Amino acid sequence: MSESIGTMIRNLRKDRKVSQRALAAEVGLHFASISKIENGKETCGEETLKRIAKALGADVDVFLGIAGHRTMPYRVLGNIAAGTPIDAIEDVETFSLTDHFDPHDHYMLRVRGDSMILAGINDGDMAIVRHSSTARNGDIVVAIVGDEEATLKTYTRQDKLVVLSPANRTLKARAYPTAEVQVRGVLAGVLRTSIDHMVAT
């Protein structure tokens, strides 16, 4: 089931440690309205959703799609660092993406690089990513460290550190203070674009 817009706003707000009053002040609403929106007791228009998305650093298109203000086809949001081309793996299964991945809950990024090749993720592949601001150890995540570009790596939390590990023996894992790492999604699948049919793993 798709996440409701109210639930998404609440989760993002809490993840960013923003109070209802602070968010309300930022977008020009009474804090009681934020509470009602989060609990599904009140709806808001497109402009209000845009202000809320901006205040929380969220994808405006996703907000509008979940709220029913905009249709939600799969979108390519950009490139993600990962190295050089490598042959696609064999024996992949063809299927309809929307049968497996709800576009409201997922987005896509084009992989650039070979840092995840041992996980079967090659240069040029499309990473299908589930929206999430949290991850479990062992998940492959889209992560942003400080002001750097997004990267696709395996996530491990160790005490006050987050270790982001490549799946390439020539590269090394790197550890960062937890506060410096933002999880922007968890890998749900990989779409290969080097063959005629759309395939996923």
Question: Which secondary structure element, helix H or strand E, spans residue 62, and what is its range?
Answer: helix 60-66
Look up 54 and say whether it is catalytic.
no
DSSP 147: T
Helix axes 46-56, 5-15, angle to 10 degrees: 20
Checking DSSP bridges between strand 161-165 and strand 106-112, what pairing results, if any? unpaired
Phi, psi of 189 (to 5 degrees): -175, 175
Look up 50 and say whether it is catalytic.
no
Q: Which of 153, 160, 172, 194 is catalytic?
A: 153
Write out the E strands in 45-97: 76-81, 93-94
Catalytic center residues: 115, 153
